[in-house]
A = this chain, B = another copy of it.
């Protein structure tokens, strides 16, 4: 099971992410199939050569033909799908996903699939502010991080296969984290930053500010353009972790505010020196 070569890969859900998986894997020479409930997405993927075959109906003979299945669905749709059609999956297949929260997904998927197939969670850290297969691209994951989140239920062979999938997509860095480490990291780096951007952007009716806006406000709010259905679902799935990251931020923001209120310039400067030092770690090399 450790070689990805010659494996047939099925992508379930042909949106931006699923479509880009299909495009990248086909471009890398794999035999890729697709399923999407919208026939027009299937047709588009076929016409662009993202998939060799595809259908909008989920049938046992079609699904059972694949060795590797990638779910690129909204989480609640994912669980429904596996409850309905999990029995169609080939015995011993490798199943993975693309969801941005892992704890709530990985354990549940492993339970749902039971002994039939091995589930290894994965998170390709790439995305765009646009959606749908028409924005999919074979190069979406080039240079991205691809995180695999195994549990003690996984075999080394399954994990290695899932990592090979990340490399086949063109990811720059493939790494392993536990589902919990992943969710803490993503809670801070991605979900908290989106919460900040959304909150900042809702503060004011801001038409009249456009003319005066420099790069700092633009940079802090770029990610305030957000798919509300997907992100609200991801926030709720990572609720406890995200709340604790929000509290952490509030603590530091309030400390700065208190220092300003008390005109305690030294505390303000200390925070600025620390932020300057830490931000320098992130300068791109």
Q: Which residues of A pack against B, CB within 8 Å?
A: 125-126, 144-145, 147, 173, 175, 185, 188-190, 192-207, 209-214, 216-229, 231-233, 235-236, 239, 242-243, 246, 248-250, 252-257, 260-261, 263, 265, 268-269, 271-276, 278-282, 284
- Cα distance, A249 to B246, chains bound together (Å): 13
The interface residues of chain B lying within 8 Å CB-to-CB of A257 are: 195, 243, 246, 250
Task: Please tell me if the beta carbons of A200 and B193 are within 8 angstroms of each other in the complex.
Answer: yes
The interface residues of chain B lying within 8 Å CB-to-CB of A188 are: 203-204, 209
Using known A-B contacts A209-B185, A268-B235, A279-B224, determine if residue A216 contacts B199 with beta carbons closer than 8 Å: no
Task: Please tell me if the beta carbons of B193 and A224 are within 8 angstroms of each other in the complex.
Answer: no
- Cα distance, A61 to B235, chains bound together (Å): 67
The interface residues of chain B lying within 8 Å CB-to-CB of A235 are: 260, 268
- Cα distance, A145 to B144, chains bound together (Å): 35
Using known A-B contacts A145-B211, A265-B236, A271-B202, determine if residue A216 contacts B189 with beta carbons closer than 8 Å: yes
The 8 closest A-B pairs by CB, nearest first: A228-B272, A201-B275, A224-B275, A199-B253, A228-B269, A199-B252, A198-B275, A224-B279
The interface residues of chain B lying within 8 Å CB-to-CB of A260 are: 235-236, 239, 242-243, 246
Distance (whole angstroms) from the CB of A258 to the closest CB of chain B: 10
Task: Please tell me if the beta carbons of A274 and B201 are within 8 angstroms of each other in the complex.
Answer: yes
User: Which of A173, A199, A256: most chain B CB closer than 10 A?
Assistant: A199
The interface residues of chain B lying within 8 Å CB-to-CB of A195 are: 253, 256-257
Task: Please tell me if the beta carbons of A229 and B269 are within 8 angstroms of each other in the complex.
Answer: yes
- Cα distance, A216 to B185, chains bound together (Å): 13
Task: Please tell me if the beta carbons of A210 and B268 are within 8 angstroms of each other in the complex.
Answer: no
Give the contacting residue for A145; candidates B214, B229, B243, B268; CB below 8 A. B214
Given contacts A224-B275, A226-B276, A236-B260, 17 further A-B contacts (CB under 8 A): A126-B214, A147-B212, A175-B212, A188-B204, A189-B217, A199-B271, A200-B252, A201-B274, A203-B249, A217-B282, A218-B284, A222-B279, A228-B269, A235-B268, A246-B257, A246-B260, A250-B250
